[in-house]
Amino acid sequence: MNPHDDNSNSDSESEYDYDYDTVSFEQKNMFAIKPDGYTYVHELFKWLNTDEKDIHNTCATIVLFQINNFGPNYYIQYLLERNTENNKMYFPKISLKHNVKQSIRVLFSLKDVSLAFKGYVKSDGGVYAFIQIDTVFSFKNMDFCLVDEIINQRKYLDYPIDDSVFSFLVSNPDFFLLKNPAIKQNYEVPTIVFHGDTYENARVYGTFGFPRQSEYSLFGPNFYFTTYKKAVQTAMSLQTAMNVQTGTIIRAAIVLGNHHVIHTPQFKYSHLEHYDSIYVGEIRLNDNITNDAAYWVVKSRTHIETLSVHVL
């Protein structure tokens, strides 16, 4: 099924050699209530050819996407397939022997998921068929990725995202930008962040949301997140210290809103009242780095969306 199974990039290996088990929790998005009056405009549609019969019996790259929201912010995510030879993530390719929706239902064994063929474009990479889906689903070696992972992080967890995916979206920003028609500006693209913990705590956070940290924390009683690498280190440390069988990382999206970047130790947590979030990079004191990983501090729970939980 994977058209990219070649060994041309087989030297790309994960920094952490783990098999990830994605954990799905039944969760009510308690803090992701769609507010009345909010909507979005997706300018992708003005570029698409909708005559589906023109691409029957062809091999097409499938751009399967889902649009969701948390708080007032809308975001888009794409289904990518992991090549098991080089661990890179690609858009899946399939042969369209039937109509597009039927081909995808057969491939993914989808029965109760709503699919909407939006059209296709032709580029140097061939035919790209766009399918909108209303529900995120799990499939072996396939995961939904956010734009921040594709364009900024260039990774999903520790799996590199192939240049073909990056180049296609960067060359076509209308395909991923969503506009708020009320103010005629684009919605913010959410930032991917991580939290490392025990499996037991991850089950609670995955269901009920993250807890605020103590008022004695560096930037007060807010929500703290870090990088993938640091989250893995934290989960492994807790696994050893607490003598538990599994460490777990939680993958989340945050909306930065009005944010501030810190590279100085003089910033006080009380200043956060003027911002929705802060990003703490390397802080140097007397030519020494005083923090060993970047992290984000978010003030409002409505700016956080838990995406997935992964057992190491």
- Strand order, beta sheet including 41-42: 41-42, 178-180, 185-186
Comparing CA positions, the residue from 283, 311, 291 lying closest to residue 196 is 311
Q: What is the DSSP string of 80-109?
A: EEE-TTT--EE--EEE-SS-HHHHHHHHHT
Residue partners of 192: CB distance under 8 A and separation at least 6: 146, 148, 149, 153, 251, 252, 253, 307
- Which pLDDT score is estimated for 175? 93
- Which pLDDT score is estimated for 25? 33
Token output for 197:
């913990």
Give domain limits for the chain: 21-186, 191-311
Q: Give the pLDDT confidence of 68-107 residue by residue, as tens digits.
A: 888 778 999 999 999 999 999 999 998 887 778 778 777 7
**Chain-wide mean pLDDT for the chain?**
81
pTM for the full predicted model: 0.82
Token output for 257:
């809103």
Question: Please, which pLDDT band fits residue 169 given cuts at 50, 70 and 90?
Answer: very high
How far, rounded to the nearest angstrom, does the alpha carbon of residue 241 sit from its chain's CA centroid? Answer: 30
191-311: CATH, from 1.10.4190.10, 3.90.228.10, 3.40.50.2000, 3.40.190.10 = 3.90.228.10
Q: Quick one: CATH architecture of 21-186?
A: Alpha-Beta Complex (3.90)
- Which pLDDT score is estimated for 287? 63
Q: Give the pLDDT confidence of 59-68 residue by residue, as tens digits.
A: 899 999 999 8
CA distance 12 to 14: 7
Question: Please, which pLDDT band fits residue 35 given cuts at 50, 70 and 90?
Answer: very low
Are the C-beta atoms of 137 and 113 separated by less than 8 Å? yes
